[in-house]
Each structure stands twice: as C-alpha cells, then as structure tokens.
Chains A and B, each alone.
Chain A
C-alpha cells in the first residue's frame, strides 16, 4: 500500500507544483531522539517517467515519522520541546563546525556526530557564526537521533552590538540573506532531526529579515490543527 503512481501532464518549458495525495500509514515506526527510542527511517523514493522516454528523474530521502513541537514555558521562560507528544529533557551540545578548512567528509561527520550521541546528547545547536550545516551532517543526526537547532547567520558580536556598534542593520543585502535562507530551508527541511530554526545567536535579526523568516517558516495552515474533531473536542478516529 506504500507504492502509488499518478498520471500527470506537464506543459512545455514550465514548472508545475504538484501535491501528491496523502499516503496513509497505520502505526508507522516513529523516529525518536537519542535515548528515547529508535530512530526509525523510511526510504521515500520518488520517480517520474515520461511516456515515450522512460525514467526521466528520481529522488530519494530517508524520512522519519515524528512530530517535534516547542513552546516557551510561561513560568520559567525556557523552551520546552516535545517529540511525538512526549516532553524531552534536552541534553544539548554546542556545534560550530567540524573543521576550519571545511574538510567536511561524510566519514568525518559520522565520527563527530556518533561521538556526540555516545556522549548521550540528544540535541546539537548550530551556532549562527558557523555554517548552515550540510545534508551529510543532518543525515547522521537523523541516524543517531540528535535533534538540531539551526541558527541563521547573525551573531550578537558582529551584528548590532559592540563599541562602536557594528552592522546595526545586519548584512548589506537583505534580499540576498533571505534568498540564502529560503534555499537553505529547502535543502534541509526533510530531515527528521531538524527541530528548530533560530534567527541568530544572542541577537534578533534586523526587523525586516526576522519578519520574513517568521512568515516563511510558520506552520502551513493545513497542518495547524492536524486533528479533526466532531465538536465535542474528541478526535475522530
């Protein structure tokens, strides 16, 4: 039941956005952070054949069924994370980058990230002065159950603080910043380990950038209330 196909016509020289009808799963194996359960991953493979030419393109990704939520707790002001409805005690590690000459091989990432999992961490915070980490980094975080807090490229030291204040309005080209942010989100958004996008380190990005990021990253209305109720607050089963 997990193999579906659809007939689609794509006009010449055009880009068509297509949403596949949702695939139903009963009791899927869920993805859990390190120390809370297994990191079940499904191999999702998508291919498109063009009539008369055979296979035209394919794509695949190891996907984890999980729901990660986080809210600010009013009494403590701290951020509470929940995974699949269960509150998580975050044992987080600071992550800047693996090598100052960016020799970022898969083997290096696997070793670094497994090391953090073996140290019993369940989250890595990618600092805003480092990198938007790479797909290989996230793949091993998916595999070893390390959730990721990923900051964009704003830091308190460089942007809007200091004497004299430096870069009070962040980078010179805000459109370029948002173009890079949007492309980075598209590159990383399917990873089970991605838990939180954060505007920057110790600093709120310039108002226009922060507003755009919040708008772009808000939950799609369709998923806002992903429970159907029959009025009595009971969930339809």
Chain B
C-alpha cells in the first residue's frame, strides 16, 4: 500500500440505531448492509463527514430546516430521546499493507462519542467533540484487503431542551458537555434538532512504515529587523515496530515564486 493518507468520504451508509438489530460485530463480518440499499431498508446513503440531519436531508427524510418553518416539523432530540439520533455509519475500504507497514484509522471530529467496529473488532472513541482519534488497525485488517467499518455515533450526553420562549442556548444543558453550544438555538439560529451529532469531520486511513511523524510544530523567529529568520521544528517520531529503527529525517522548504517557478 502506498505510504500516505487516504480520506474515506465516499460509499458511506447510515441507519438509525433503533432500526438495526444486528451488532457491530455482525455488521462488520457476516451481515454487512447491501452497498446499494433498497428504499425500504433502514440503511441509506450517508454524508460523511457530516451530521445525522445532513444525511436525513440528503435522503429527503426531513425538509430543509433552514427554509420557512420547516424546523418545527423535525422532532427535537429533547422530545425524541437520544436514541432517535443515535446512528450507525458504515463503509468498506481496501487496504493491503506490506509486512513492515502500519495502518492507522483517523477521525478528526466525532460529536459526541462512538463505538468503532472493524472486521468484527470493537474500539470505543471517548467523548468530546473537539478531539482527534487515531486507532492502529494494522493487526485487524483483512488479508484479502477488503475491510468492513461500522461506527455507532451517540449524541452529546446533555442535549438539553428548548424552552417555549427559546433564548440563547435553550436551557443551557449543552454547556455541561465539551461541544458546540449554538445547537440549542440562539437569537440568530433555530435549535439544531440532532445537536450536530455525527462524524462531523474528516475520516482517513494512514499507511506508514515502522516510524511515523506526529504533530510537527513550526515556529519562525526573527532578528535584525526581519532580515534574519530561523525556522524551528519540533516533532514526534513514533516507532511502532519492535526493533530499533535507524532513520533519515529530511526537511525541505520551498516557495512558489511566480507561476510555476519553484525556489528550493
């Protein structure tokens, strides 16, 4: 498999958790949903990254909440209960790493917590809307390269309720969680019925060799009235193999001058 990151933003399906009786293990081993679900099935084509409402709107199962009084016809999570907006998201991907390669599954934003199932193996993604999650999936990938991924996404713990008079942030319960607060409604926006539950940011898989680069930090300092500058860089190198790795680290800084002339 080529070293690098691949974004998983196509071929996703979704279904309301209360309409799926299978477990995550079953969904990602013996009973995956059909790739092209029929309209009667609970499964539908999903918008990932996105929210539950985004997927329901994509499938025309709700009116667009931002037109007229449509939002009033979408049941609020306070009335429906959290399980109504607890959704399964499912996809497949192909990845066949070489012997020394490692593969990570990365979620850049989940609102608000989730359980991940990959080929029958379960991992829990802890709470928090503004945190990344990275799972080493090297050992659970299928030898034939075809992998089944299911994610059960739960709404914020405290979705709150919208008082009849509305107001800034509804009953303020959402403030108990580490999540965006506008979703209970504000003077400039109606309440968001699912409180933005979903895989709301990028999903990707990264293929690396034994050593991977994590969170480089770049800082520039200046001297002599900005004539002299230094670029500082601190990074983490993670050796996921069980042997000492002798590495060559390279840094290259290039600037596009004009058009397609590059100064290296």
Contacts and interface: CB of A to CB of B under 8 A. Distances in A.
**A-B complex is real:** yes
A97 B198 CA distance: 16
Contacts of B237: 8, 10, 15-16, 18, 48
A102 B50 contact: yes
A195 B134 CA distance: 28
Nearest to A59: B213
A158 B185 CA distance: 11
Interface string A172-187: 1100110111011011
Nearest to B160: A158
B236 A65 contact: no
B253 A2 contact: yes
B201 A190 contact: no
Given A54-B209, A67-B222, A44 B253 contact: yes
Interface centre among A27, A29, A103 (most CB of B within 10 A): A103
Contacts of A115: none
A155 B181 CA distance: 8
B233 interface: yes
B61 interface: no
A66 to B, nearest CB: 7
A48 B249 contact: yes
A53 to B, nearest CB: 5
Nearest to B71: A100
Contacts of B218: 44, 61, 63, 190
Interface string A10-31: 1111111111101111111110
Contacts of A132: 130
A204 interface: no
Contact of B210 (A3, A47, A53): A53
A70 to B, nearest CB: 17
B252 A45 contact: yes
A237 to B, nearest CB: 5
Nearest to A11: B244
A214 interface: no
12 contacts: A6-B250, A8-B246, A8-B247, A10-B237, A10-B244, A18-B235, A45-B254, A48-B247, A85-B225, A104-B200, A187-B132, A237-B227
Given A10-B237, A53-B209, 14 more contacts: A10-B239, A15-B237, A20-B235, A23-B251, A27-B226, A45-B250, A57-B209, A58-B4, A96-B182, A130-B180, A134-B109, A158-B174, A176-B128, A180-B128
